[in-house]
Amino acid sequence: MSKDISFDTIQNFTDNLAKHPAYPVAANAAQTNGIFKASQSTQTKVDLDPSFSVEIDTGSVTNQKQSGRCWMFSALNTMRHSIQKEFKLKGFELSQSYTFFWDKFEKSNFFFENVISSADKPLGDRKVSFLFATPQSDGGQWDMLCGLIEKYGIVPKKVYPETANSENSRALDDTLNTMLRKGGLELRELVNAGKSEDEVEAKKQELLDAIFRMLATSLGLPPKTFNFEYKDDEGNYHIDKDLTPQSFFKKYVGWDLENYISVINGPTADKPYNKVFSVEYLGNVVGGRQVRHLNLELSEFKNLIINQLKQGEVVWFGSDVSKGGDRQAGLLDTKLYQRDQLFDFDFSMTKAERLDSGESMMNHAMVITAVDLVDDKPTKWKIENSWGDKPGFKGYFVMSDEWFDQFVYQAVLNKAFLPEDVKKAYDEGKKNPIQLLPWDPMGALAFKY
């Protein structure tokens, strides 16, 4: 039987405030400065001094502005570093807007295909509701960017620059999602009316044509060929003519993307270690590379990241920046805000408890460029962010090792640096991955910051 809250109970709670002698001071501090400022520790700034024993120089940071393209920016940043170094191009960027265009277009087809395949289910079905709740967003995953590059290649930023709609994507997302919902309902009606596959496909092509036109109008038509013209840091002029986006990637980046795999640390009961997982309805390129995650224990997960840094290669990673962070100071630390003392309440939860309860999930991708090892153990990490050069240390952040343990969930590693048992577990598991539900916290089209 449900019980309401009585006024006597409220009076008891009011009387209990007197048992907390720090209450008046805490209340003044919280009400004047806000909870986080009132509970912020000054020691974190001392502990997270930006000095590191293992560090890779990556130059100036990028700025995703008012868009949720962190996964795209950070992935392209890992690729531009080698271009900057080899071709002496300080400040060089790859076009995030180019991959943004094709991601939006491919996600539209991905959504329509999922709508068609689920048309026999009612709109109130949880999975159908999930599809229509957010037909597409700016968020994505490493494997999804790989799928785009494998199909469309990449281009320099100056060949396909930013627009008002890529830098601030709210109106574009709203417009596209309206088109997708309307089109999705029309496709469902055709399927449920018993129309032929050809008729349904014809309607889908009509919708995609309208979406392509909208994207080209908002972002510009992506180039098929271009000239790569530049002066290097020594002032020497170069021009490489008649490149395609695919040939540019092959010549200037040259990575075999199959060698880069996603590993996660997801310590929940439904995710056994050393198994590979995929997520239902998570993807963009139909028939292209699918999202795959190999789940590893924290100690192994962390040691493999350290090893890659020692080999001179940065690491793309996914985390929850909504917890324990000071955006302006560029600090990430579990001890940054001492709310336990402010409210006399134990806020502690395990990593698994946060994931299971919705307290935490992946929401931001960045790049690890350094680690500080003391007695061969990590104490803090240097992070290349994509929020411009104003926050933190000229755009770089420092995270404590304790924050890493609690809020870092994913990393992308080069198979060349992995032990044989890890490579074997991934290669065997990706053939028949365990499928997670669309809303699983490791699914994360949630990269949105």
Domains of the chain by range and CATH? 46-341+349-441 (3.90.70.10)
Task: Name the H helices within 193-225.
Answer: 197-219
DSSP, res 289: P
Q: Which of the residues 70, 77, 165, 177 is marked catalytic?
A: 70
Position 1 confidence tier, pLDDT thresholds 50, 70, 90: confident
Q: How many whole angstroms separate alpha carbon 219 and alpha carbon 68?
A: 16
Counting DSSP H helices and E strands in the chain, the numbers are 17, 14
Known active-site residue 146? no
Mean pLDDT across the stretch 434-440?
Answer: 94
Give the residue-averaged pLDDT of 36-44: 94
Structure-block tokens of residue 93: 């960027």
Active-site annotation holder among 77, 109, 265, 385: 385
Catalytic entry in 28, 81, 364, 414: 364
Cα angle vertex 292, ends 287, 295, to 5°? 170
For residue 21, name the pLDDT band (cuts at 50, 70, 90): confident
Give the model's pLDDT for residue 448: 55
Do the Cβ atoms of 225 and 257 come closer than 8 Å?
A: no
Residue 444: pLDDT band by 50, 70, 90 thresholds? low
At 297, phi and psi to the nearest 5? -65, 150
Phi first, then psi: give them for residue 183, nearest 5 degrees. Answer: -65, -40
Q: How large is the average pLDDT for residues 424-437?
A: 96
pLDDT in tens, 141-188: 999 999 999 999 999 999 999 999 999 999 999 999 999 999 999 999
Distance of CA 347 to the CA centre of its chain: 26
Q: Which residue has the tokens 């790049």?
A: 367
Mean pLDDT over each residue of the chain, to the nearest integer: 96
Dihedral angle, C-alpha 22, 28, 32, 33, nearest 10 °? -10
DSSP structure string for 143-166:
HHHHHHHHHH---BTTTS---HHH
How far, in Å, CA of 147 to CA of 290, rounded? 8
70 is catalytic: yes
Q: What is the pLDDT of residue 18?
A: 87
Q: CB under 8 Å to 144, separation ≥6 — which residues?
A: 71, 103, 283, 284, 285, 289, 291
At 304, the pLDDT band (50, 70, 90 cuts) reads: very high
Percentage of residues in the chain having pLDDT higher than 70: 99
Percent residues over pLDDT 90 in the chain: 96
Contact 232, 159 (CB under 8 A): no
Catalytic status, residue 385: yes
Instruction: Output the pLDDT for position 447.
Output: 55
pLDDT above 60 for 274: yes
Spatial distance between the Cα atoms of 5 and 396, rounded to a whole number of angstroms: 48
Helical pair 126-133 and 96-117, crossing angle rounded to 10 deg: 150
102-153: pLDDT as tens digits: 999 999 999 999 999 999 999 999 999 999 999 999 999 999 999 999 999 9
Q: Model confidence at 217, in pLDDT bands (50, 70, 90)?
A: very high
- For the whole model, what pTM was predicted? 0.95
CA atoms within 13 A on the CB side of 366: 30
Give the pLDDT mean for 40-65.
95
pLDDT in tens, 369-389: 999 999 999 999 999 999 999
The SS3 assignment for 138 reads: coil
